[in-house]
Amino acid sequence: MPEFMAVLGIWLGAFFTLSIFSFLYKDNPFYKLAEQIFVGLSAGYWLIYSIFNVLVPNLITKLFFDFGNNIILLVPLALGIMMLFRIIPSTQWVSRYPIAIVVGTSAAIAMLRTMQTNLLTQVTATMVNPFQFSSPVAIVGTILVILGTICGIYFFYFSKKQEGIYAVPSKIGIWFLMISFGASFGYTVMARISLLIGRLDFLLRDWLHIIK
């Protein structure tokens, strides 16, 4: 029985794979069906994991089996229920309270962590003495990093009309950005092809057994 179910599962997987790929020819009922099934399964998956991996262990079990020590958890439970009031238009305002706490907390943490990781440490990492290296490649590369970073920020941040000498750093900044976008395009090609390989591998190996 499990062997039969595995084979059936692979045929099911092949059906869904081909249904999605059929969109390449044109939009059709098979694609539409597969798309909506995906949305439904995805929503169900998120719901089950939120219940079993978060709400049950972090809230329900604690309140059920050790209420005395976890009485404070009634607060997030109440806030969570208040969040659900958003469904009814006349009571939507109730959901603003939990949203405000969530947004305030995450904004503060995002601000602190971004300031340290994406701003201060990045500035420190840029300000390197290029001449400490012995290899000419590293020296030139480090100078390029300093120049490119400063010119890139100049391009983004100095919105005053840039003419003459003031336009030069912006121009250099754009060149660096173009190189980076080219690299990103290259990596995007790599990523997308990889995903296709995965699906064709499934069809040719697991379904058709052409690859052994």
Partner 1 sequence: MTSINRTVLERRIVFLVLAIAVALPLVFPLGLKTQVTPLTEKAYDLVESTPAGSVVLLSFDYDPSTVTELQPMAQAVIEHAWKKGHRIIATAMWPQGSQMADMAFADVQGKFDNSKVYGLDYVNLGYKVGGMVTMQAMGRSMEAVYPKDMSGLDYKDIPMLTGIKSLQNVKYVFSFSAGDPGLTHWIMVAKDKYDIPVAGGTTAVSAPGFLPFVNDQMQLHGLLGGLKAAAEYEFLLGYEGAASLNMNPQSVAHVLILILIAIGNVKAWRKRKSVQQEASKNA
Partner 2 sequence: MKRNIPLILAFISGMLVIISEFIPHYPFGLIEETLTGWFMIVSSFAILLGQISLISANINRVVEKSQNWQYYLAGLISFAVMVTVGLLWGMENTPGILGQGASIAAKLGSKPFDYIFEYAYMPLASTMFALLAFYIASAAYRAFIIRNFESNLLMITAVIVILGRTSFATALTSWIPKSLTLLHLPELTDFIMQYPNTAAQRAIMISAALGVIGSSLRIILGIERSYLGGGK
Query: Could you list the residues that contact partner 1 (CB under 8 A)?
Result: 24-25, 45-46, 49-50, 53-54, 57-58, 61-62, 105-106, 109-110, 113-114, 116-118, 121-122, 124-125, 128, 180, 183-184, 187-198, 200-201, 204, 210-211
**Position of tokens 């309140």?**
63
Query: Rounded CA gap, 3 and 9, in Å?
Result: 10
> Is residue 165 involved in binding partner 2 (CB under 8 A)?
no
Please say which residue, 17 or 162, places its beta carbon nearer to partner 2.
Answer: 17
Question: Of partner 2, partner 1, none, which one sits near residue 30, judging by CB under 5 to 8 A according to partner kind?
Answer: none
Residue (162 or 175) nearer to partner 2, CB? 175
Interacting partner of 204 out of partner 1, partner 2, none (Cβ under 5 to 8 A depending on kind): partner 1
- State the DSSP code for 209: -
CA distance 200 to 14: 10
Site for partner 2 contains 63 (CB under 8 A): no
Q: Long-range CB contacts (< 8 A, 24+ apart) of 77-82? A: none
Q: How far apart are CA 172 and CA 151, in angstroms?
A: 6
Amino acid identity, position 21: F
Burial class (CB in 10 A: 0-12, 13-18, 19+), 155: buried
Picked from partner 2, partner 1, none, the partner binding residue 157 (CB below 5 to 8 A depending on kind) is partner 2
Side-chain-side CA neighbours of 23 within 13 Å: the count stands at 10
> In the set 48, 71, 204, 211, which binds partner 2 (CB under 8 A)?
48
- Residue 65 or 157 having the CB closest to partner 2: 157
> 93 or 131, CB closer to partner 1?
131
- 126 close to 145: Cβ distance less than 8 angstroms: yes
Shortest approach of partner 2 to residue 161 CB, angstroms?
A: 19
**CA end-to-end span of the chain:** 24
Restricted to residues 96-135, the positions that interact with partner 2 (CB under 8 A) are 96-112, 114-115, 118-119, 122-123, 125-126
From the list partner 2, partner 1, none, which binds 81 (C-beta under 5 to 8 Å, kind-based)? Answer: partner 2
**Dist. CA 128–CA 120, nearest whole Å:** 14
The option from partner 1, partner 2, none interacting with 139 (CB < 5 to 8 A, set by class) reads: none
Backbone CA torsion sign across 13, 15, 20, 24 = positive
# binding residues, partner 2 (CB under 8 A): 126
Say whether residue 185 binds partner 2 (CB under 8 A). yes
